[in-house]
Amino acid sequence: KQEVTQIPAALSVPEGENLVLNCSFTDSAIYNLQWFRQDPGKGLTSLLLIQSSQREQTSGRLNASLDKSSGRSTLYIAASQPGDSATYLCAVYSNYQLIWGAGTKLIIKP
Amino acid sequence: DAGVTQSPTHLIKTRGQQVTLRCSPKSGHDTVSWYQQALGQGPQFIFQYYEEEERQRGNFPDRFSGHQFPNYSSELNVNALLLGDSALYLCASSPYEVVTNEKLFFGSGTQLSVL
């Protein structure tokens, strides 16, 4: 059974710092891995999607990596801003379903 | 394009009652999926509808049922509500020909509280 874990559960850093969020999964038989952002009352927004054959994806200040063999993904956020404050969730697509981690709540202090 | 819209945004019910949540998919999307997100947890897949039929189902009891209409909108029904059903219910839409999650869009959700 696929399980997805995110560490840490919460993170608070000063504005301007670079930071890394971690995601691990137990079964390497995934189709892709996706990082989402969730803001209160605003649902989920897809940030980056990495296919199982890819190693990383980049969008602006965000970079996501995928190591399928070790069951790990990281989301790197460069030069963090207060507007980056949100909950970040990773999800793997396998067996026609998205299997989600519990998320990392990120607070960027001005 | 209004994206995925869900109604109502908030709902309060008591144990044993029944509830219906509604979802209108993004324009051009014909497939609707429902997720339950408990506080502090990631979403869990409930089921997916396409062509007015349930196509995939997660590990949820029969108290959870759904419907899809010819205009692709969808309803989620939950009978005999339990306190544990309190959660954010998310609707996601996608085009069916994209069989993965690559064009999945989420609504803002319905926050259900069961007292």
- What would the 3-class secondary structure string for chain B be? CCCCEEECCEEEECCCCCEEEEEECCCCCCEEEEEEECCCCCCEEEEEEECCEEEEECCCCCCEEEEECCCCCEEEEECCCCHHHCEEEEEEEECCCCCCCCCCEECCCEEEEEC
- Do the beta carbons of residue B37 and residue A38 sit within 8 Å? no
- For residue B91, the chain A residue with the least C-alpha distance is A43
User: Does A11 reach chain B within 8 Å, measured CB to CB?
Assistant: no
Mean pLDDT of B54-73: 95
pLDDT value at residue A86: 97
Residue A25 has pLDDT above 90, yes or no: yes
Residue B98 has pLDDT above 90, yes or no: no
Helix (H, G, I), strand (E, B) or coil at A83: helix
Backbone dihedral region for residue A42 (phi beyond 0: left; psi -120 to 50: alpha; all else: beta): alpha
Sign of CA pseudo-dihedral B1, B9, A5, A15: positive
- Do the beta carbons of residue B114 and residue B81 sit within 8 Å? yes
User: Does A80 reach chain B within 8 Å, measured CB to CB?
Assistant: no
- The amino acid at B84: G
Percentage with pLDDT > 70 across chain B: 97
Could you say which of B9, B45, B109 has the minimum Cβ distance to residue A97? B45
User: Does A95 reach chain B within 8 Å, measured CB to CB?
Assistant: no
pLDDT value at residue B1: 65
Sorted by sequence, the CB contacts under 8 Å of residue B18 that are 6+ apart come out as B77, B78, B79, B80, B81
- For residue B90, the chain A residue with the least C-alpha distance is A43
Mean pLDDT of A31-39: 94
Confidence of residue A102 (pLDDT cuts 50, 70, 90): very high
Mean pLDDT of A96-101: 89
Cα–Cα distance between A49 and A19 in angstroms, integer? Answer: 19
Could you say which of A32, A44, A45 has the minimum Cβ distance to residue B100? A32
Position of tokens 């995925």?
B4
- The amino acid at A23: C
Could you say which of A4, A89, A97 has the minimum Cβ distance to residue B58? A97
Confidence of residue A11 (pLDDT cuts 50, 70, 90): very high
